[in-house]
Structure 1
């Protein structure tokens, strides 16, 4: 991450406004992502942090798979918005997730989305969710890929 381009305040502002406009229309986002904070944006890249609560974990105490899926869906759309400051990010055509470790109530996670290609019809994104350790990304919790149909 240290070799990346600096945070772009204009893109971060666009992505924050985009998120604030979408959040009220989605009860699931309001429920699961109430406390998420965007921390970084550049062309096609977005990062955020989320403190996990009891609402985010499964019966075994680890982050619920549906939460990870929601985050990968969410950050993929924001990465597309950060690609070219667009306000329509399409609809999902597929999403794939690989779970590698876990995080629990009280942990903070960092989520990163990257738009690898945004074309006229499809956009391809990847996402990583890390458990934050000592205020830095630690063990990977999950990775994912997300394809969206963007010609809408």
Structure 2
């Protein structure tokens, strides 16, 4: 890393996500893949993907009106495809169950292909202790 390069923080990665719609138990967002989101193979880095799943889990829980979104007990990511710089990602989060002490959220990350067709990049789940 040159002296001019500054590492990108995790917070800066999710600050670039744009929330497009929110309803109780469902949040939609988008993100254009930029150079700071890439791994050494110039595709979306797994840590960025997992960070998005973590962040989206909290957003979906907040959509239920909860003031505190809890702490993570489990995060799972399946890397199904890839995304390259300049591609637009659509991120969908849904609550599977919000109980008294645990919340279960599923997250789908897809890239938008030419013509508007979507292709899965990653599927994730996030479980949080919310009590």
Normalised TM-score (structure 1): 0.77
Q: Aligned pair 1:141/2:108, yes or no? A: no
Say which of 35, 51, 57 aligns to 2:16.
35
Instruction: State how far apart, in whole Å, the 2-side matches of 1:79 and 1:33 are.
Output: 15
Question: CA contact under 8 A between 1:110 and 1:137: conserved in structure 2?
Answer: no
Q: For structure 2, which runs of at least 5 residues remain unmatched after alignment?
A: 1-8
Question: CA contact under 8 A between 2:14 and 2:55: conserved in structure 1?
Answer: no
Residue 15 of structure 2: SS of its match in structure 1? coil
Instruction: State how far apart, in whole Å, the 2-side matches of 1:56 and 1:135 are.
Output: 24
The offset of 1:135, in angstroms, is: 7.4
The offset of 1:40, in angstroms, is: 1.1
Instruction: State how far apart, in whole Å, the 2-side matches of 1:34 and 1:143 are.
Output: 21
User: What's 1:116 paired with?
Assistant: 96
Q: What is the aligned length?
A: 123
Question: CA contact under 8 A between 1:130 and 1:142: conserved in structure 2?
Answer: yes
Say which of 80, 86, 101 aligns to 1:100.
80
Instruction: State how far apart, in whole Å, the 2-side matches of 1:145 and 1:101 are.
Output: 17
Q: For structure 1, which runs of at least 5 residues remain unmatched after alignment?
A: 1-26
User: Relative CO higher for 1 or 2, CA cutoff 8 Å, sep ≥ 6?
Assistant: 2
Instruction: State how far apart, in whole Å, the 2-side matches of 1:32 and 1:133 are.
Output: 22
* Runs of 4+ residues deviating >2 angstroms: 133-137
Q: 1:131 to 1:39 in 2, by over 3 A?
A: same
Normalised TM-score (structure 2): 0.88
Give RMSD over aligned pairs. Answer: 1.4
Question: CA contact under 8 A between 1:130 and 1:137: conserved in structure 2?
Answer: no
